[in-house]
Structure 1
Amino acid sequence: MTALESVVDNVGAKGLDHLWRPGSVAVVGASDDPAKWGHWLASGALSGRELRRVHLVNHNGSRVCGTPTVRSLREVDGPVDLAVIAVPVPAVADAVDAALDAGARALLVITDGLHRLPRRPDLAHELAERARAAGVRLVGPSSLGIADTGARLQLAWGRFVQGPVAVVTQSGQVGSELAAMLARDGSGVSRFASVGRQVDVTTEELLASLVTDEPTRAVLTYLEDVRDPRAFLEAAAALRAADKPLVVLAAGTSAAGSAAARSHTGALTGSIDVLDAACRAAGAVRAGTPAHAAALAHALALGARPRGRRIAVISDSGGQAALAADVAATAGLTVAPLDGEAGERVRTLLPDAAPSNPIDLAGAGEQDMTVYARAAEAVADSVDAVLLTGYFGRFGEDSPSLADAERLVAERLTRLTVKVPVLVHSMADEPITTGTLTRGGVPVFADVRTTLLALAGSAEWTGARPRTLPPAPTTEHAPGGDASYVAAREVLVRAGVPMAEAAMANSAAEAVEISRRWPGRTVLKAGELAHKTEVGGVVLGLRTEEEVAAAYRELTHRLAVPSLVVERMDERPGVVEMLVGVRRDPVFGPVIVVGTGGVTAELWRDTALELAPVTEEQAARMLTRLRGYPLLLGWRGAPGTDLAALARCVAAVSRIPQAEPDVAACEINPLRVAPDGVVAVDALLTWNDTTEEMYR
């Protein structure tokens, strides 16, 4: 067994053979009415009757699509591998029992609303238990259906164009939209699966089943939740290892879900950030809209894998070239000046045009159509991808006499993809020329923004650095109460985080004595209080022994606390204040966050997040994603900070959940980063609700 097959087996997808490769199919609820589900399922099943036996079940026994039917599955003569059930809710349980009696090995339940059945709200789960007891897999209920276009298995509402992209969706209608968009882009579907309520077969299993599906070259999934995060990560990583890009479209991932968090680490990051981190860890890529997701999956399936983000823009319109350059910049792509050799080649090709990027053909294409291909060839060695935007693709449509010449240029562009990805934004309405491009591995889109988002996403996928997946959480944790600053210090010291020099004082005299240990100013903190700042439990910048004693007496009296933390104030020059925190996400487990810290943390909302733990190298890469990264390097003459020390600290904090199972969250804010190292000067700790009262 190969490593990829092992992943498929571990996730449980091996049990889906009868779903995707049935020797016989029965449609229960077949109808001759084109407006009903049963008609779509019956006609779809019959389209593959040359490859498998098809049984149609209609309670009246009337002919469907010109084919005889039986009144019950119990009347079927011969085995049934896959039973598709689309009957009214009250009849579903009997239909499932009949399918199991007929020896079905897989069930696809289309019927919706089982949970609304009076006195049987758990019927769907009951049916799943019956199926599992018989060794049968069940997809649904509330599924839009499944399709395998290569195997002519069409058991869903709608029609699916054959192509290289598999779609696994938690919303049937969103899945239909994605399939239609793929078809409009000139691509199509290899497999389609609407998971419905997932009472048995899950999204993660269906994703894993695609690892070894040869016709599938890219995978597109729409998620509303992740039932088994470990299985999702393993399936995504296996797809990556099989060179099958996974594009994730997700809903319900706004930061609102974390608005009630008590720390910056929670309040500044939402579930979408965690999902992005999960995608990065496994080598997948996330898209923001259905159009973006479909375009990206289409481009990746055709083999558009740019090595980087430097692109050349070629157009037969100065306006379209300028607009493309603007959109490219917002998409994170670089339209850089051409290097010497490329510039010289463009100057030779277009003597009347400036050898700049974007390249404006300025009507040259109308004189000699081969200039489109020759311009792309001239710059291919100096960029990571070529974008052709404008009229090309429409010549043959508007002037049929030019169709052959345009097709030959299109074929020349497809040959260039061996060297560099080529993407085309075309004004064409008909695939006279664009079909040649698509079949040759050149993605074509009708909108320049869609084209460039697909290109940027492809570059993101190609440049991803999948990591060894973090260990799966062993237990579920629920956050309990907040611990004291003293407890937070203890945890961070054990983790190896440099903390400001400090000690507990039980009297004003002891506080003064402690403050004599260091030069400079002193800070007093009500260390037993978790939220010190909110109650005025911190006094900064105490210079003299008299100030220390007076502040000690005032704080202990006002807050009614028996002791205070006496801490050395960090007064190093060139300091940048950062936030570093770790928390347990309810789905994917521990996550590590680093960002711009201090009192303005929520103002800038500048954070980077990864699944925890991370290595020092991974932590260093997180820093480069921050908008405030230039501050760490040294801004306007300021000295650069100790990035290595900061990365060590981030990595150390990321290991806390493994080392301290009782800790639900731990945050340093601020972590003061200077040229000579880091010092944590404030921290918040939240323990799990199962933790002993050790910190109270």
Structure 2
Amino acid sequence: MSIRNLDRMFHPASVAVIGASNRERSVGRVLSRNLLSGGFEGPVLPVNPHATAIGATLAYPDVDSLPFAPDLAVICTPPETVPGIVDTLGRRGTKAAVVITAGFSETRSEEGRRLTQAILDAGRPHLMRIVGPNCVGILVPGIGLNASFAHMQPKSGDIAFVSQSGAVVTAVLDWATHRGIGFSHLVSLGNMADVDFGDMLDFLLADSKTRAILLYVESITHAPKFMSAARAAARAKPVIVVKSGRTAAAARAAASHTGALAGSDAVYDAAFRRAGMLRVFSMDELFDAVESLAYGPRIVGDRLAIVSNGGGIGVLATEALSDAGGTLATLTPETIGRLDACLPATWSRGNPVDIIGDAPGSRYAEAVAAVLENPGTDAVLVLNCPTAIADSREAARATLDVVRGAGAKRPRPPVLTSWLGDGAAAEARRMFAEARIPSYETPEQAVRGFMHLVRYRRHQTLLMETPQPLHEWTAPAVEAARAVLGAVAAEGREMLTEPEADQVLEAYGIPVVRTLTAATPAEAGRAAGRIGGPVALKILSRAISHKSDVGGVRLGLEGDAAVKAAAEAMLATVAERSGGATVDGFTVQEMAAMPHAHELIVGVHRDPVFGPTILFGKGGVEVEVVRDSAIALPPLNSVLAQDLIGQTRVHDLLRGYRDRPAADLEAIQRVLERVGQLALDLPEIAELDINPLLAGASGAMALDARIRVAPAVDAAPPAIRPYPGHLAHQAVLEDGSTVSVRPIRPEDEPGIAGMLARSSQEDLRLRFFAPIRQLSHESAARLTQIDYGREMAFVAVEDGELLGVSRLAEDPEGETAEFAVLVRTDRQKRGLGERLMSDLIGYARDRGIAVLHGTVMTENRRMLALCEKLGFERRLVPDDPGIAELRLRLGTPPAGGR
């Protein structure tokens, strides 16, 4: 389920309070008072078997006695009574409930889990949505709905705050009320037995009164649903998240370096980044971020110009900027000349622009105007500290006048402000707030706000980047890899030997070093002779994971005798250091000839919430000491792989320095993409280490690999739905020609642009309902970078060119979907449109979608005829006879939605 009946939850016509009370300081009393006094215009129906009235409002003894079924019920009765109450409400027709009561799954007891499931079982037949249990409640200030036991009424606004913690909701309410911050929704999710973050993100995405969404997250349930909803919401409005528990260590000991490095908080961070959300680390920072993102337009870089009437506060801002990874904008000679003409001779002649403490409003205006027009400026921070010889309010008014004027002439960099102190500064901050210009109490907060803009831009840009075309390489031999894993599992082992791990990597086209196995020291010597040249000798043991820790690795050995002697010595060393662990033999590897190569690590870890994760960073034996790594969620493409590499410090080294050449970044990128595919194809792999992955100017090669397997049934599914390649097929058209039909890929953005360029303006007008010459990059990216969990688009490809596309977008319940189709003008009349629509209809039917619908201009006779042929029903839109609505009934959706 998703947003089904959440309109009854957050826009009810009537509310019942089950467990209402007159007893002071009771939850039932506070709930009743908040609902009755909050300004809610619908009827409030208290239920209490022992009271005639709650306050001055008539009470009812039980749910069956209510005069009608309320849209929303708020329940605060003992936990054992809740399932029965939910069942009774559902039978009467109530569609939403908030369960305040605690004593359920949060107790971690069998009885608590049983009661939680009983609530869900009671509500499911009636499609009732439930917030909680164990929550503070919900508040919708715009309609006066306060269905909570919060201690104050919030102001109405356009920010939604959703939290697992009820205590955080009340703390934020208190904090925000005293600062004049209002909300569209305040929601305490509690245990999230039913309604969770994914549901709320879908609902708030569609809510026109919500401008920004704030989340306080302790844990995520149903990660695929969360990621799908989060990516959709973050494309449309700022989504800012605080995640608690970020310093918690991994819950279990890991058999691989990847497992040790991939702590749960790092995975959450990767998920938030992939979704395009902005993560912050405190409540103060949360609302600073809202102010920055909601007021400030998007920026194009991280170069900040600072204008200040005090050198000290300018230095503080500069230091904060450097610490946060930002950059001071460089002032051009022309800008410096312009500032020379309007500022005292003692000005700083650089950035920060110190306009001196006696600066009147006119000096502020001239300086701010100059840096706004400086070509290297991405944003401007204007600072003011109070002095006895200048008016802070005058400086604020002058700054406002310049900002308004600059905005009227052309797009301008965003302006952020920080007026220090109280008194006149407070009045200046009020003026900026009314003009929707971000304003902060300190320079450090202002810089942090600027960096929120920078980080948010980076995340949003990542969502819209067009990857390079897929690398042409042989499809992975998935069955061959699975055969290796199956043989290991059949023997009851968890760890693959190094040769077995190499076979899995080779199946996915990941280069590995030539390796031979040997059972005895003598065989190891002979293997070295067959390889020739220097070799690496390693112990082969199913009982030893980290070979170097027990003296099981020797490098650069030459000659049969040297290898045989090293193997004999290694047996004694390993026996002593490993406590007598079983040794199965040796591996003899060719020493890779890669001058100036870097040792990297690439790994896979199965997170219990988000499923497979990919780790990249600085490798080698000191990997867990250096801890220079980053994590991403698969699948990866060229853009995402580049971003993952760029998050690490070793990235700077890989680009080359002094006399050391740059490493082949594309080769590293290909390894990451293939490891990402491996992680999706083989859920049996619980952990994988390639350490080191040797990377130099001539490519990348896995020198050592470690893989641990576990039953695939225990693995969490991927948080992001992978590319549905199994839907690709060949289609024969009416003229006998064959085209490839497959799901759309992000790499198809240039193909979409080419298809539109080869389509007539008339065809484009009929498809888009308006004249169109070309799509912006953002629009084209949105059409090609789809969420395969809630959207689908099929493209027809011939000789590498896109000929047509059909697409559908599901509603949040998965019951209906809207369709659209376009065929390139010069490729029409071949039956391509019918082929694409038929594929779309088949896909929708397989998904369990009940109705496929769309709108078509009545003058688009070819499309209307095609839809009639395919069985669509047609009706005219009453208020627009030029538009026809088309509907195709496919069947009955699954009970309770999907």
Name the TM-score class by shorter chain.
0.7 to 0.9
* Structure 2 letter corresponding to 1:627: R
The one of 448, 452, 460 aligned to 1:453: 448
Q: Could you state the TM-score of these two structures normalised by the residue count of structure 1?
A: 0.88
Pairing 1:515–2:528 present: yes
- For the 8 Å contact 2:100–2:134, the answer to whether it is kept is yes
Worse-superposed segment, 289-298 or 604-613: 289-298
**1:331-371 per-position Cα deviation (integer Å, ceiling 9, x unaligned):** 22212332233323322231321331112221243xx2243
Instruction: Output the CA distance in 2 between the equivalents of 1:436 and 1:520.
Output: 76
Return the alpha-carbon distance in structure 1 between the equivalents of residues 385 and 25 of structure 2. 41
1:615 corresponds in structure 2 to 637
- The more displaced of 624-633 and 220-229 is 624-633
Pairing partner for 1:481 from 468, 489, 494:
494
Instruction: State the SS of the aligned residue for 2:533.
Output: coil
Aligned equivalent of 1:340, options 321, 333, 337: 333
Deviation at 1:50, TM superposition (A): 6.1
- Structure 1 position 26, deviation (Å): 1.8
Asked if structure 2 preserves the Cα contact closer than 8 Å seen for 1:666 and 1:685, the reply is yes
Q: CA deviation at 1:654?
A: 2.0
* 1: CA distance, partners of 2:335 / 2:178: 35
The equivalent residue for 2:169 is 175
1:146 maps to: 138
- CA distance 1:514–1:110, shift in 2 (3 Å): same
Distance 2:266 2:669 in 1: 20
2:139 alignment partner, SS class: strand
Question: 425, 440, 444: which one pairs with 2:439?
Answer: 444
Structure 2 letter corresponding to 1:348: A
- The one-letter code sitting in structure 2 at the alignment partner of 1:497 is I
Structure 1 residues 429 and 128, CA, compared in 2 at 3 Å: closer, same or farther? farther
Tell me which residue corresponds to 2:625.
603
Distance 1:70 1:659 in 2: 58
Give matches, 1:226-241, under 5 Å: 226-241=220-235
The answer to whether the 8 Å contact 2:80/2:115 transfers is: no
1:518-557 matches, within 5 Å, as 518=531, 520-529=533-542, 530-531=544-545, 532-555=547-570
Q: Name the SS of the counterpart of 2:210 in structure 1.
A: coil
Counterpart-to-counterpart distance in 2, 1:363 and 1:437: 21
CA apart distance, 1:512: 3.7
The residue that corresponds to 2:429 in the other structure is 434
Alignment of 1:156-167 (within 5 A): 156=148, 157=150, 158-167=152-161
State the 1:300 CA deviation. Answer: 1.5
SS of 2:231's equivalent?
helix
**Distance in structure 2 (CA, Å) of the matches to 1:500 and 1:480:** 24
- Contact preservation (8 Å) 1:182, 1:295: no
Q: Within 2, Cα distance between the matches of 1:345 and 1:212?
A: 47
Q: Is the 8 A contact 1:139 1:195 kept in 2?
A: yes
Matched with 1:466 is 463
Deviation at residue 21 of structure 1 after TM alignment? 1.2
**3-state SS in 2 of match to 1:108:** strand
Deviation of the 1:561 alpha carbon: 4.3
CA contact (8 A) 2:418 2:439 kept: yes
Q: Pick from 507, 510, 532: which aligns with 1:497?
A: 510
Aligned to 1:592: 614
Supply the RMSD in Å over aligned alpha carbons. 3.2
Distance (whole Å) between structure 2 residues aligned to residue 617 and residue 294 of structure 1: 31
Q: How does 1:237-386 map to 2 (within 5 A)?
A: 237-242=231-236, 244-254=237-247, 256-257=249-250, 260-352=253-345, 353-365=347-359, 368-382=360-374, 383-386=377-380
Identity %: 32
CA contact (8 A) 2:691 2:702 kept: yes
In the alignment, structure 1 segments of 5+ residues that lack a partner are 1-10, 471-476, 692-696
Q: Which runs of 5+ in 2 are unaligned?
A: 468-485, 576-581, 714-898
Go from structure 1 to structure 2 and tell me whether the alpha carbon gap of 1:456 and 1:259 turns closer, same or farther (over 3 Å shift): farther
CA spacing shift, 1:184–1:99, aligned 2, 3 Å: same
Distance 1:94 1:574, change over 3 A: closer
Report which stretch shifted further, 208-217 or 34-43. 34-43
The reply on whether 1:673 has 2:666 as its aligned counterpart is: no
Q: Does 1:580 align with 2:568?
A: no
User: Deviations along 1:234-258, whole A, 9 cap, x unmatched?
Assistant: 111111222x111111122335125
Query: Quick one: which amino acid aligns to residue 164 of structure 1?
Result: D
The answer to whether structure 1 residue 20 and structure 2 residue 15 are counterparts is no
Structure 1 residues 13, 438: CA separation in 2 closer, same or farther (over 3 Å shift)? same
Instruction: Evaluate the alpha carbon distance shift between residue 380 and residue 395 of structure 1 in structure 2; reply closer, same or farther with a 3 A threshold.
Output: farther
Superposition deviation, residue 553 in structure 1? 4.2
C-alpha displacement of 1:53: 2.3
User: SS in structure 2 opposite 1:541?
Assistant: strand
The equivalent of 2:72 in structure 1 is: 82
- The offset of 1:64, in angstroms, is 4.4
Q: Distance in 1 between matches of 2:315 and 2:271?
A: 36
Q: Which residue of 2 aligns with 1:194?
A: 188
Are 1:205 and 2:199 counterparts?
A: yes
Quick one: which of 216, 224, 230 aligns to 2:218?
224
In the other structure, the counterpart of 2:840 is none
Distance in 2 (alpha carbons) for counterparts of 1:670 and 1:287: 33
Whether the 8 Å CA contact 1:258–1:266 is kept in 2: the answer is: no
